[in-house]
């Protein structure tokens, strides 16, 4: 039986005992429920099962398999590839499972599989606690953590998955498992970077750290200053303490009070420096960057949860992202990076981003399937635009930037930052040796590849 032949009797079978909400194409909420962050994705599932409980998830999996429906899993719906939806299949929507419980004494948080970073940060903020999370508040915890999880303070606290203590997961046969370092340890290892290949994660437990407020500095320059600014930033960050992180980006300057009027709506080069401490300490630490003649400045001490939403990506745009991880970023790479910025879709929200790694990310001795953690730099063409006529030009800009950077590439890739770029890039996201081990585990937990709408690991 296929999605297109299911009748009311079949859907009644799923509704029986289902405590969540089942949304069909005839329901008024259907179109809103299937909107993803990437406006290029327009898929029409046969049904969206908005789950409330672990048993809802298990029931939906069993039903989808019995009816031979393709199954997609939705957490935040922020992934650029749009795999949180399926045409004609069943979406297991976890967004109602977004509860966050904080244990301030143990410094841990247990987070529902459908929670976003906003849910997480707002729950931990009253206790002055946090951990590494995505750089925008709308990102779903599930995809972020299972893929590795980079964030503004990963140089200080490590990746999000480095702070993962336990995962509750429902497998392809509807079985509920708990994975920790001691319980199902092979599965626990696979969930540190292996994505949604092994089941539906319904709950996560994370280690937390004291982090009540931080200092954020946005410094803006004319675009032609970019090469000198990035050279200075390279020297600055390579000797910076772990308390400092951030990024440099080319982007369209917004109409804000702190932005030079001649740059509003035009290409600009901006540094974001984040510091785990006071504004006075931050100003002292970032003194080398403050002496470069910037034309726009915003330096402010903010709660960590506010920092996490300061740069939220605007919804409703067409998206194409890619990435390259670099072992080095010499002058020749800097010059190419700056030249390529003129090919961006401007004016638009598109950004060409350079992010430093190092610190706690690289020091970790964990053998998780995350080969990119040892790179020094991350190049991120982040394309957002409105006009479908710009689709090819935006994709080509991202591909050309990657090609420019290839001489310095580590070969590894963080899969959360890319769409479908082929099987070789999936293997590069895990490393060949890790991929072979993951494929063996995939055959154990999902031999029929039920969960294939992801950066897929094929069962060995």
Length of the chain: 460
Whole-number pLDDT of residue 10: 82
Same domain, 158 and 204: yes
Give the residue numbers spanning the domain of 298.
213-417
Give the residue from 210, 237, 257 where a domain finishes: 210
How far is 440 from 459, CA to CA, in rounded Å? Answer: 6
For residue 340, report the phi and psi dihedrals to the nearest 5 degrees.
-65, -25
**453 located within any domain:** no
| pLDDT 10s digits, 415-425 | 999 999 999 99
Whole-number pLDDT of residue 13: 87
| pLDDT less than 70: residues of the chain | 1-5
**268 located within any domain:** yes
Count: domains in the chain: 3
Same domain, 224 and 187: no
How far is 226 from 396, CA to CA, in rounded Å? Answer: 22
Burial grade of 10 (CB within 10 A; 0-12, 13-18, 19 or more): middle
Half-sphere exposure of 141 (CA within 13 A, CB side): 31
| pLDDT 10s digits, 289-348 | 999 999 999 999 999 999 999 989 899 999 999 999 999 999 999 999 999 999 999 899
Whole-number pLDDT of residue 414: 97
Whole-number pLDDT of residue 37: 96
Same domain, 169 and 205: yes
Same domain, 218 and 195: no
Hey, which residues does 47 pair with through a beta bridge? 90
Same domain, 184 and 230: no
CB–CB of 245/155 below 8 Å?
yes
Same domain, 247 and 392: yes
Give the residue from 65, 93, 121 where a domain finishes: 93
Whole-number pLDDT of residue 3: 44
Same domain, 122 and 235: no
Whole-number pLDDT of residue 5: 58
Same domain, 197 and 241: no
- Residues with Cβ within 8 Å of 197's Cβ and at least 6 positions away in sequence, in order, are 190, 438, 442, 446, 451, 454, 455, 456, 457
């Amino acid at each position: 039986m296929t999605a297109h032949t299911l009748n009311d009797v079949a859907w009644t079978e799923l509704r029986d005992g289902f405590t969540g909400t089942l949304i069909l194409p005839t329901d008024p909420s259907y179109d809103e429920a299937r909107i993803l962050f990437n406006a290029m994705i327009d898929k029409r599932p046969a049904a969206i099962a908005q789950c409330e409980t672990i048993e809802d998830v298990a029931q939906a999996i069993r039903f989808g398999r019995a009816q031979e429906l393709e199954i997609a899993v939705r957490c935040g719906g922020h992934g650029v590839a749009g795999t949180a939806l399926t045409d004609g299949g069943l979406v297991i929507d976890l967004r109602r499972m977004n509860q966050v419980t904080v244990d301030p004494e143990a410094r841990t948080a247990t987070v529902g599989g459908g929670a976003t970073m906003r849910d997480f940060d707002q729950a931990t903020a009253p206790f002055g606690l946090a951990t590494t999370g995505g750089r925008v508040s709308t990102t779903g915890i599930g995809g972020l953590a299972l893929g590795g999880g980079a964030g503004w303070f990963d140089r200080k606290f490590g990746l999000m998955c480095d702070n993962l203590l336990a995962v509750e997961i429902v497998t392809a046969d509807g079985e509920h498992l708990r994975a920790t370092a001691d319980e199902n340890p092979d599965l626990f290892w696979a969930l540190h970077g292996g994505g949604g290949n092994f089941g539906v994660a319904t709950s996560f437990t994370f280690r937390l750290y004291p982090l009540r407020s931080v200092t954020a500095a946005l410094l803006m320059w004319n675009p032609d200053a970019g090469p000198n600014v990035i050279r200075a930033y390279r020297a600055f960050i390579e000797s910076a303490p772990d308390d400092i992180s951030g990024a440099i980006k080319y982007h369209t300057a917004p109409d804000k009070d702190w932005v030079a009027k001649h740059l509003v709506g035009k290409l600009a080069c901006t540094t974001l420096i984040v510091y785990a401490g006071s504004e006075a300490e931050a100003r002292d630490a970032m003194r080398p960057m403050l002496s470069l003649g910037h034309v726009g400045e915003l330096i402010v001490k903010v709660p960590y949860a506010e920092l996490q939403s300061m740069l939220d990506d605007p919804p409703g745009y067409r998206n194409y992202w890619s990435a390259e991880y670099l072992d080095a970023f010499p002058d020749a790479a800097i010059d190419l990076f700056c030249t390529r910025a003129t090919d961006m879709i401007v004016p638009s929200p598109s950004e060409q981003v350079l992010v430093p790694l190092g610190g706690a990310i690289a020091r970790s001795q964990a053998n998780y399937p995350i080969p990119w953690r040892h790179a020094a730099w991350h190049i991120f063409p982040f394309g957002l635009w409105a006009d479908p006529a710009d689709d090819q030009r935006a994709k080509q800009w991202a591909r050309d930037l990657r090609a420019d950077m290839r001489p310095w590439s580590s070969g590894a890739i963080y899969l959360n930052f890319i769409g479908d770029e082929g099987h070789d890039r999936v293997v590069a996201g895990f490393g060949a040796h890790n991929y072979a081990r993951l494929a063996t585990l995939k055959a154990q937990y999902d031999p029929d590849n039920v969960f294939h709408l992801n950066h897929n690991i094929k069962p060995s």
